Structure 1
């Protein structure tokens, strides 16, 4: 049986098992006439087989780390680290829109942005430019109106703290 090119017999492809992976390696090393596409296919099969064997080894070892993905940090932690990094003027600090957005959305909530970080956040907001600054002022003014209306009905300590933060932001940006 000849292949489409007519140069050598067509090979049947099959999933490499333990003996199959070794056969693929041997075939790849001994057959220099493999086309680049055939080499890529063989390399993918070998890589897949290695990953499968690695997972099996980890499963047999029973390591807890292999079964549980590493713990991911929350958006709050990442945003506050970003803010602290900015404040310390680290060489590796870079602007990150998602972190800035998180900070702008949650800056009035003292549970998410503690008081010890709020003064740093105010300093960060001083450098806010363009549309982000305009939107922050607009949202703060709208929220201030809502809180003034709601605050007249019942004096809630959380609302008072939020109002105080709003006033500081408006005073800084306006």
Structure 2
């Protein structure tokens, strides 16, 4: 039994020593702040305004969530207030991007005006070559500007354009009835073939 008393006495002394060491050990700033905040009551906590320069990183996760919720509520209140006053709140909407057709026609315009900003773009040229027979996609004024552009075609683009025009011409020659839109298309095909052949 004497042995048990000495072991339990040693344990007690170790526990006391650890408690003394822990109280003397330096406490990190974050632990001090957490301890101080937990001591304060909810009514004593200072109200943080969104305008105040405040380091959010110093807050505990729960305090951070509360702070962010308050900010969100205040923003919503401001938006509602402005809407009631008749001032439309600008939302983050990106301006509509121009379609591929619009970009291709702008590309053609830039080329025809010999603009110094003009730069060859394969995608724009491809769109123009694929849609040049469609009067709705490429209006007559743009088609007139496209013809001189076609003169400068080289390599496979030129060969492919000629082949497609010949195929379209054979297809239209085999048709018995022609509509008005078909006549415009046929006329465009003839112009392209005369120009490139």
TM-score range relative to shorter protein: 0.5 to 0.7
User: What CA distance in whole angstroms lies between the structure 2 residues aligned with 1:170 and 1:106?
Assistant: 16
Q: Could you state the TM-score of these two structures normalised by the residue count of structure 1?
A: 0.64
CA 1:65–1:127: 2 relative to 1, 3 Å: farther
CA RMSD of the aligned region, Å?
2.4
Equivalent residue in structure 2 for 1:167, among 186, 190, 194? 190
CA 1:69–1:171: 2 relative to 1, 3 Å: same
Aligned residue-pair number: 122
| Within-5 A mapping of 1:12-91 | 19-20=56-57, 60=76, 62=79, 63-66=89-92, 68-91=93-116
**Consecutive aligned runs of 4 or more in structure 1 exceeding 6 Å deviation:** none
Equivalent residue in structure 2 for 1:113, among 138, 143, 146? 138
How many Å apart are 1:65 and its aligned residue? 3.7
User: What CA distance in whole angstroms lies between the structure 1 residues aligned with 2:137 and 2:194?
Assistant: 22
Q: Could you state the TM-score of these two structures normalised by the residue count of structure 2?
A: 0.57
Give unpaired runs (5+ residues) of structure 1.
1-17, 24-51
Rg comparison, structure with higher value: 2
Give unpaired runs (5+ residues) of structure 2.
1-54, 60-67, 80-88
User: What CA distance in whole angstroms lies between the structure 2 residues aligned with 1:138 and 1:64?
Assistant: 52
Equivalent residue in structure 1 for 2:166, among 141, 154, 158? 141
User: What CA distance in whole angstroms lies between the structure 2 residues aligned with 1:19 and 1:117?
Assistant: 58
How many Å apart are 1:69 and its aligned residue? 2.2
Which residue in 1 is equivalent to 2:83?
none
Alignment deviations for residues 3-38 of structure 1 (CA, whole Å, 9 cap, x no partner): xxxxxxxxxxxxxxx621x68xxxxxxxxxxxxxxx
Equivalent residue in structure 1 for 2:121, among 88, 96, 119? 96
